Structure formats: C-alpha cells, structure tokens
Amino acid sequence: MIREITPDDLQGLLSLYTQLHANPMPEETEDLHKLWLSILDDRTHHIIVAEEEGRIVSSCVCVIIPNLTHNQRPYAFVENVITDEAYRQKGLATACLNYAKELAMKENCYKLMLLTGSKGDSTLRFYENAGYNSKDKTAFIQWID
C-alpha cells in the first residue's frame, strides 16, 4: 500500500531511515516529537511510504515549494528515497516516486527535482527510468555543520 505518513508511523520510518546513509536510530526526545508534529502539520511536506506486512519498507519525501517565477507555479523537491534492503527490486520506490509526481501535478508544480548522493550506475538508471534526468540542471551542495 502506498500512502502518506500518519502520526503513528514515526518509529517505522525512523527504523527504515537507519538504512539511509547509515543513520543511527535517534533517541526519543521532546525535540524529536516537536519536529515530527511540525512535519505532520506542514501541508507542503509530504512523506510517502510503502507499507508491506504492516511495516514501512520504502519511502520518499516530497516538499512543495511556493515560487514567484514560472507564472507563480510551485515546484516540488524529492529527497530521502529509501527502500528496505529486503524489499528492493519490487517497484516500491517507483510507486512512492509516482505518488510524489501525482502530488506535484495536483499542486500544479512546473517541475519535480530530486537529488541523490549515489554515483552507482544502477541507482542513476533507476532515477532515469522513473523519469528524471541529470542533463537539464547542475546541482551544487554546500554542507553546513
């Protein structure tokens, strides 16, 4: 089942995120719960998940960003694409990305952008097969500690 996150999904999502860049499982703190509530309350921040056997096994984030160019049409940004290692090659991440595209189209976005830290050919082909290209724009990252 592909759906948007619910308030009860925090632990399942955080558990999946431990496979994303080897993120450690965060400590349950008041700040973590405030952040979670803030994300849930943000109508422009969408966390899309694939659920199998009652577990969150794939996810991506899609943020709709208001914009003053392109006839004041927003754009969408996709990040944190991940599928549990045991559930890969089943089309779940593609389904999450398709859901993100549907959201972006519903919000009248003029483009959908995605960044990946992967340089692996299979990952890059996966994104190309999902409709993304790396030719139109150049991304630059400045990490802030």
d(CA 62, CA 69): 20
pTM of the model: 0.93
Minimal CA–CA distance to 59: which of 91, 83, 89, 25? 83
Give the tens place of pLDDT for each residue, 89-103: 999 999 999 999 999
Minimal CA–CA distance to 118: which of 139, 99, 98, 101? 139
Q: Residue 5 burial by CB count (10 A; 0-12/13-18/19+): exposed, middle or buried?
A: buried
pLDDT of residue 106: 98
pLDDT of residue 6: 97
Computed over its alpha carbons, how large is the radius of gyration of the chain?
A: 16
Ordered by where they begin, the domains of the chain are 2-129 (3.40.630.30)
